Chains A and B, each alone.
Chain A
Amino acid sequence: DIQMTQSPSTLSASVGDRVTITCRASQSVSSWLAWYQQKPGKAPKLLIYKASSLESGVPSRFSGSGSGTEFTLTITSLQPDDFATYYCQQYTSYSVTFGQGTKVESK
């Protein structure tokens, strides 16, 4: 199985900050990578697919980049609604795997 490793595990930030989360794959996943946002007690929400494609309705302050084994999710100006846990997911086949998550908390 392809292992996905996110860093950091926890990130403390303030409203207005630029936030970057990194996701590394144990082998190349090409651009078959998605990012999700999850709030407590809620299902994950798709933000980005195919590494850099913004899901419809997701604010443009969210962006994704990378290919192969290294990817980033960037929030250009953190908003109060963005405090949440973020997961990356590779989907090279039916056997998808997720990163362990990055919790973005208020500084």
Chain B
Amino acid sequence: EVQLVESGGGLVQPGGSLRLSCAASGFTISANFMSWVRQSPGKGLEWVSTIYSGGATYYADSVKGRFTISRDNSKNKLYLQLSNVRAEDTAVYYCAGDAYYYDKWGQGTLVAVSS
């Protein structure tokens, strides 16, 4: 069974850092495109970042220079390092795959930025 399970969310102060993880099972993340998508409370969906099978990475302008996507092929895990977070980064963060449209989603992990 294909499954994505996120973890690592929580309360973080403005300017702080957090690392989100996404453990995949039932498929190999390195063979596919994997992305992070977020949803602010009561709002719509926003693409955050994508890592290609070849390792190329891409970011939304709103997070460029602050967030870093990566993966550990040996653990079949996807990561999103959040740095210098802002109040507007408060959202549920989903990992999703495995193409430009997303047929695989995790359950999401909530990141709350507040002092």
By a CB distance below 8 angstroms, the chain A residues around B105 are 43-45
User: B107 contacts the other chain (Cβ, under 8 Å)?
Assistant: yes
Which residues between 90 and 115 of chain B lie within 8 Å of chain A, taking CB atoms? 94, 99-103, 105-108
User: B45 contacts the other chain (Cβ, under 8 Å)?
Assistant: yes
By a CB distance below 8 angstroms, the chain B residues around A32 are 100
Residue pair A43, B106 in contact (C-beta under 8 Å)? yes
User: B27 contacts the other chain (Cβ, under 8 Å)?
Assistant: no
Query: How many pairs of A and B residues are in contact by the CB < 8 Å rule?
Result: 52
- Chain B, interface size: which category? 20 to 34
User: B50 contacts the other chain (Cβ, under 8 Å)?
Assistant: yes
By a CB distance below 8 angstroms, the chain A residues around B100 are 32, 91, 93-94, 96
Looking at chain A's contact residues, the main secondary structure is loop
Q: How far is the CA of A97 from the CA of B101 in the complex (A)?
A: 10
Residue pair B44, A101 in contact (C-beta under 8 Å)? yes
Q: What mask results when residues 14 to 51 of chain A are scored 1 for a CB within 8 Å of chain B, else 0?
A: 00000000000000000010101000001111100100
Residue pair B101, A95 in contact (C-beta under 8 Å)? no
User: A52 contacts the other chain (Cβ, under 8 Å)?
Assistant: no
Residues of A within 8 A of B (CB): 32, 34, 36, 42-46, 49, 55, 87, 89, 91, 93-101
Residues of B within 8 A of A (CB): 33, 35, 44-47, 50, 52, 58, 60, 94, 99-103, 105-108
A-B contact pairs, 27 of them (CB 8 A): A32-B100, A34-B101, A36-B102, A43-B94, A43-B107, A43-B108, A44-B102, A44-B105, A45-B105, A46-B103, A49-B103, A87-B44, A89-B45, A91-B101, A93-B100, A94-B33, A94-B35, A94-B52, A94-B58, A94-B100, A96-B100, A97-B47, A98-B45, A99-B44, A100-B44, A101-B44, A101-B45
